[in-house]
Structure 1
């Protein structure tokens, strides 16, 4: 427990953090990567270059300071971060590295404003927060060992590759030791680790897009195309698309993540899924479980948004599910349809998801909503649902990359 004096000092630093948060976190990452290059493998350089990682950390630090006297308000955020940390293999010994560089950055960025009182208060506050993460992450590692039979990374083999769209490839990964896979929770992701040319490794999270209980983990990976020298092609997605072949080995860590399906207790309460682009991947696993485990009277609506047919993933798989289940309504909306997309019936409508479409498919029914996609799409859907009076507890969403505020 933090002392009242420490809580008071931390609260006083909130305005300074709001004004200087991103400057502080940029300095922090640069300092840490210089003094402790061994931790660079835990971070996505694309997120560093885009600044999303720095903004996310700045927001997290400010939120912690604002709620320092009510840590229960941060429970969901702590769980999201702890799951991400466990997926990457972050352990207790890494926290002193972060703490040392964070405190040094506060002193170096704020200068004389960073008094000993402030530094000591933040050292105490960081120690408490680190203990929370260490304890929760230890529990996650034990859960992974108990449920899946391994912790950390172990080799998997590529059973097959499958084209999912012009820019998305599916990889079916099976344990190299031949052990049967335990059922993952629909919506979870796994972590893959690949070698780099300099002899180091890097890691990425990919949602499991197949039904739990199958012989493999299927990940469906979008090729991240660059935008010139400043934004190069995605390192890991390029490796998977261009170099990983059937029979190859790849290191995989157990499923993790808090964005999972929780079926409503009411048998007739509708479920609505809204997928944007490659954000469909966790929702595919959820959809299949929802269809198999829901009573026949539960309406299930699946809205898929894509640019056009060339980049529409899982078209045949979704169509087959709609034919098989009478309670599933599938609606495909293209924002930039190609010639023939509408006429051929490849999409049901044009544009972005809007209230008119939701009125048509869902109406005023109280439903549970799951949505995933690019950040602008998440922000748009979140605003639509707020306008419709959907309670926060009925809204479930996931970011691909560092989380940020939607409201």
Structure 2
């Protein structure tokens, strides 16, 4: 709960701090990595530092959290905190690192706001930070405790490496040691850590794309990003028989409960919905399911065979497909919910590029799906945190 002493100071300074976060967050990361260069080795993404996405995500989370506290000082924004906590635990963030972040973040704030900051303003923003940090620490402890083991990284052996569409690969892995395996939930992801050619360890999150309930294998599908660092290594260098480090499964956008479901995905964003479809088939559930997918062409659809087979196995499941390249029998162009027969009282799961997800969310609300029943998953830094969740 934000104190009555701090609330008016946060209300008064939020516009200013928000306008300067674009300078504060790069300053913070420069300070952090100068003092702790080891954090770039296997924790922070070097690529997301270079392109500025991590700075934008941090700025968005700070501004979004402070805004939520101002609007509802008695509440904490649980959905925002849960999403961050799942990403943190998949990377092995520890409680002591919050103190390290605090020190360098507030040094950056003090420098960038030297013309206006007072001891009272600094104290108020310190309260905001520790409300957020302590809430995350509590959630993350619970997520760690839920796992079947106390390890952050475990070796898994690649037993299959299968082409999926024109530029994606599905990896099938089995445990390389006797560490207890946590059963995942449909829609969850694992972090994958690999060594780059220059020796630096880097990790990325990939949604599990099938057989999430298995304790004997993990399956994930990755699209090659020629401008990235991790996916090219996975596609080019990792061979069948090699060991790869995986985290336990995390992610709060999961298929739970019962009732009708709408999946709206684009490109490689189909992976979490593919795992959910497979789980429905495995469980023998015959829910009303509407699968909406957008792709460049049929050949590019990474999990086409798996998803179409599972849709055919579920009574009441339907598929609507949009292709950029005109193809007989399918929609052409961008996905649209206009004119679709959407299931009544459905939960909707959205995954794909950020503009696509925002468009789908807006269209779904216009179509009558409550915002509380629309769930989204973001690959990489969550640049939506400062907006509508």
TM-score (norm 1): 0.88
Equivalent position SS for 1:360:
coil
Q: Is the 8 A contact 2:149 2:180 kept in 1?
A: no
Structure 2 residue aligned with 1:18: 18
| 2:344 is the alignment partner of 1:350 | no
Equivalent position SS for 1:29:
helix
Distance 2:167 2:210 in 1: 18
> How many pairs were matched up?
382
Distance 2:95 2:311 in 1: 47
Equivalent position SS for 1:353:
coil
Equivalent position SS for 1:43:
coil
Structure 2 residue aligned with 1:369: 348
1:171-199 deviation digits (Å, cap 9, x = unpaired): 01111015674421111101111113443
Equivalent position SS for 1:256:
coil
Structure 2 residue aligned with 1:186: 186
Equivalent position SS for 1:209:
strand
Q: Which moved more, 1:392-401 or 1:96-105?
A: 392-401
1:48-84 deviation digits (Å, cap 9, x = unpaired): 2332222222122122222335263411111111111
- How far is 1:300 from its partner? 0.9
Q: Which moved more, 1:117-126 or 1:211-220?
A: 117-126
Q: Which moved more, 1:274-283 or 1:196-205?
A: 196-205
Q: Is the 8 A contact 2:204 2:380 kept in 1?
A: no
Distance 2:347 2:238 in 1: 38
1:160-309 matches, within 5 Å, as: 160-177=160-177, 181-214=181-214, 215-225=216-226, 233-264=227-258, 269-293=259-283, 295-296=285-286, 298-309=287-298
Equivalent position SS for 1:184:
coil
- CA distance 1:198–1:292, shift in 2 (3 Å): closer
Q: Is the 8 A contact 1:25 1:58 kept in 2?
A: yes
TM-score (norm 2): 0.92
1:62-121 deviation digits (Å, cap 9, x = unpaired): 222223352634111111111111100110121111001111011111112122222233
Listed as ranges, the gaps of 5+ residues in structure 2 are: none
| 2:72 is the alignment partner of 1:104 | no
Structure 2 residue aligned with 1:230: none
Name the Cα RMSD after superposition: 2.1
Structure 1 residue aligned with 2:303: 314
Equivalent position SS for 1:202:
strand
| 2:116 is the alignment partner of 1:126 | no
Listed as ranges, the gaps of 5+ residues in structure 1 are: 226-232
